[in-house]
Amino acid sequence: MILVLTYCAVWLSFASGLLALMMNQRSLFVALSTFILKKYPNSRPSCQKILDNCLDEQRFPDFLRLSVFVLLGLSGVFAVLAGVSVLMNNEVLVDQIHLGLPWLPWHVRFDGLSGFFFLIIGIAVIAVSLYGPGYTKAYQENQHPFATLGLFTGLFVAGMLMVLLADDAFFFMIAWELMSVASYFLVAFQHEHAENRRAAFLYLLMAEVGALAIILAFGVLASFADGLTFDALRAAKLSSNWESIAFGLALLGFGMKAGLVPLHVWLPEAHPVAPSHISALMSGVMLKVAFYGLIRFCYDLIGTVHWEWGVVLLVIGTASALGGILYAMMQPNLKRLLAYSSVENVGIMVMVLGLSMIFMANNHPQLAALGLLAALFHAFNHALFKNLLFLGAGIIHHQTHELNIDMLGGLIKKMPHTSLLFLVGCMSISSLPLFNGFVSEWLAFQTALQVDVLDNGVLRSLIPVSAAALALTAALAASCFIKVFGLVFLGVPRSHNSEKAHEVTDKGMLAGPTLLAGLCFLFGIFPGVIINLLNGVAKQLLGETLPNDTAMSWLWLAPVSANKASYSPPLVLVGVLIATLFTFWTLRRNPETKTMRRADTWDCGFGGLTPKMQYTSSAFTMPFRRIFANVWLIDEQIDKDMQGAMDLNVSAIHYRLQVQDHSWPRLYEPIAQSVNTLAKQVGRIQTGNIRTYLGYSFVTLLLMLWMIS
- For the segment 651-665, what is each residue's pLDDT rounded down to a tens digit? 777 777 777 777 777
- Residue 270 scores a pLDDT above 80: yes
Q: Are residues 98 and 240 in the same domain?
A: yes
Share of the chain above pLDDT 70, in %: 91
Position 607 in a domain? no
Angle at 129 between CA 332 and CA 382, to 5 degrees: 50
Instruction: Report yes or no: 587 and 593 within 8 Å, Cβ to Cβ.
Output: yes
Does residue 152 sit in the same domain as residue 9?
yes
Claim to verify: residue 165 and residue 94 sit in the same structural domain: yes
* pLDDT tens track for 376-407: 999 999 999 999 999 999 999 989 988 889 88
pLDDT at position 261: 87
Nearest alpha-carbon partner for 391 in 550, 483, 288, 506:
506
Whether residues 656 and 676 share a domain: the answer is no
User: 3: burial class by Cβ within 10 Å (0-12, 13-18, 19+)?
Assistant: middle
- 221-245: pLDDT as tens digits: 998 888 888 888 988 888 889 999 9
Local structure of residue 22 (DSSP, 8 states): G
Q: Judge whether 421 lies within some domain.
A: yes
251 and 239 share a domain?
Answer: yes
User: Among 80-94, 444-458, 568-582, 686-700, which is the least confidently predicted range?
Assistant: 686-700
- Most confident of the following: 254-263, 345-354, 612-621: 345-354
482-526 pLDDT, tens digit per residue, is 999 999 998 888 888 888 888 998 888 999 999 999 999 999 998
DSSP 388-454: HHHHHHHHHHHHHS--BGGG---HHHH-HHHHHHHHHHHHHHTT-TTSHHHHHHHHHHHHHGGGGG-
The Cα–Cα gap between 145 and 630 comes to 45
Answer yes or no: is 575 within a domain: no
Contacts of 183 (CB under 8 A, 6+ apart): 152, 156, 203, 207, 278, 282, 286
DSSP character string of 493-553: --SHHHHT------HHHHHHHHHHHHHHHHHHH-THHHHHHHHHHHHHHHS----GGGS--
The DSSP code sequence of 116-174 is HHHHHHHHHHHHHHHHHHHHHTTS-TTTS-HHHHHHHHHHHHHHHHHHHHB-BHHHHHH
pLDDT category, 37, cuts 50, 70, 90?
A: low
Amino acid letter for position 329: M
Contact 109, 165 (CB under 8 A): yes
What CA–CA distance (Å, rounded) separates 436 from 521?
A: 6
Amino acid at 39: K
Rounded to whole angstroms, the Cα distance separating 316 from 21 reads 42
Whether residue 509 sits in one domain with residue 392: yes
Q: Report d(CA 153, CA 72) in Å as an integer.
A: 9
Residues 652, 510, single domain; the answer is: no
pLDDT at 56: 57
- In which band, very low, low, confident or very high, does the pLDDT at 479 lie, cut at 50, 70 and 90? very high
Task: Tell me the mean pLDDT in the region 187-211.
Answer: 86
**What is residue 697's three-state secondary structure?**
helix
Total domains in the chain come to: 4
In-domain check, residue 549? yes
- Per-residue confidence at 476, pLDDT binned at 50, 70, 90? very high
Please state the rounded mean pLDDT for residues 6-11: 89
User: Of 567, 588, 604, which residue sits at a domain end?
Assistant: 567
- Concatenating the DSSP letter of every residue in 631-648 gives GSEEEEEEEEEEESGGG-
Asked whether residue 62 carries a pLDDT value surpassing 80, the answer given is: no
- pLDDT interval class at 321 (50, 70, 90): very high
Q: Once rounded to an integer, what is the mean pLDDT over residues 256-283?
A: 89
Predicted pLDDT at 373: 92
The whole-number pLDDT of residue 32 equals: 55
Task: For residue 551, name the pLDDT band (cuts at 50, 70, 90).
Answer: very low
668 and 657 share one domain? no
Please check whether residue 392 is in contact with residue 515, taking contact to mean a CB–CB distance below 8 angstroms: no
Contact 10, 161 (CB under 8 A): yes
Question: Quick check: helix, strand or coil at residue 606?
Answer: coil
Boundary of a domain, candidates 260, 294, 328: 294
Does residue 669 belong to any structural domain of this protein?
yes
- 300 vs 660: which has the higher pLDDT: 300
Are 136 and 186 in the same domain? yes
Reduced to 3 states, what is the DSSP secondary structure of residue 705?
helix
If asked whether residues 228 and 365 sit together in one domain, one would say: no
Going by the DSSP 8-state scheme, the letter that residue 225 receives in this structure is S
Say yes or no: 406 and 378 in one domain.
Answer: yes
DSSP 8-state assignment for residue 94: E
Nearest-angstrom CA–CA distance, 313 and 349 = 10
634 and 697 share one domain:
no
Q: What pLDDT does 616 receive?
A: 84
Question: Where in the sequence is the domain holding 197, given as residue range(s)?
Answer: 1-294
What does the H/E/C string look like for 294-361?
A: HHHHHHHHHCCCCHHHHHHHHHHHHHHHHHHHHHHHCCCEHHHHHHHHHHHHHHHHHHHHHHHHHHHH
Interatomic CA distance for residues 650 and 346, integer angstroms:
47
* Whole-number Cα distances in Å, 668 to 198, 321, 359, 664: 15, 21, 35, 5
Q: State how far Cα 274 lies from the chain centre.
A: 13
Looking at residue 288, its amino acid is K
601 in a structural domain? no
Residue 548 has pLDDT above 80, yes or no: no
- How many Å from the N-terminal Cα to the C-terminal Cα in the chain? 59
> Mind listing the pLDDT tens digit for each residue in 401-438?
888 898 888 899 899 999 999 999 999 999 898 899 89
The whole-chain average pLDDT of the chain stands at 85
Side chain identity, residue 249: L
592 domain-assigned? no
Print burial letters for 543-555: b (CB count within 10 Å at least 16), e (below 16).
Answer: ebbbeeebebeee
Residue 30: pLDDT band with limits 50, 70, 90: low
The tens digit of pLDDT for each residue in 640-649 reads 777 776 667 7
Give a yes or no: residue 615 inside a domain. no
Instruction: Determine how β-strand 633-643 pairs with β-strand 93-101.
Output: unpaired
Number of neighbours of residue 469 by Cβ within 10 angstroms: 18
> What pLDDT does residue 642 have?
76
